[in-house]
A and B are shown apart, each in its own frame.
Chain A
Amino acid sequence: MDKLASLLHTTPAIAWMVAKLVIVFGGVFSLAALWTWVERRGSAMIQDRIGPNRAALFGKIKIIGLAQPLADGIKFFFKEDLVPHDANKALFWLAPFLALVPALMGFAVIPFGRSFMSGGQEYHMALLDPGNGMGLLYPLAIGGMAVYGVLVAAWSSNNKWSILGGMRASAAMVSYEIGMSLAVVTIFMTAGGYDPSEVINAQGHLPWAWNVVRQPLGFIVFFTCMFAETNRLPFDFAEGESEIVAGFNTEYGSMKFSLLALAEYCHLMTASALMATLYFGGWQVPFVQNPAVMLSVLSFLVKMLFFAWVFVWIRWTLPRFRYDQLMHLGWKVMLPLSMANLVFHAWRMSQGH
Chain B
Amino acid sequence: MIKPGKPSIFIVMLLSLPCGMVLAGPVQPPLPDGKALAEACFSCHGEGGRGGGRIPALAGQDMTGLQQKMLALRSPSPGSTIMPRLMRGYDTDEIAALADYFAGVSP
A and B pair up: no
A interface with B by C-beta (< 8 Å): none
B interface with A by C-beta (< 8 Å): none
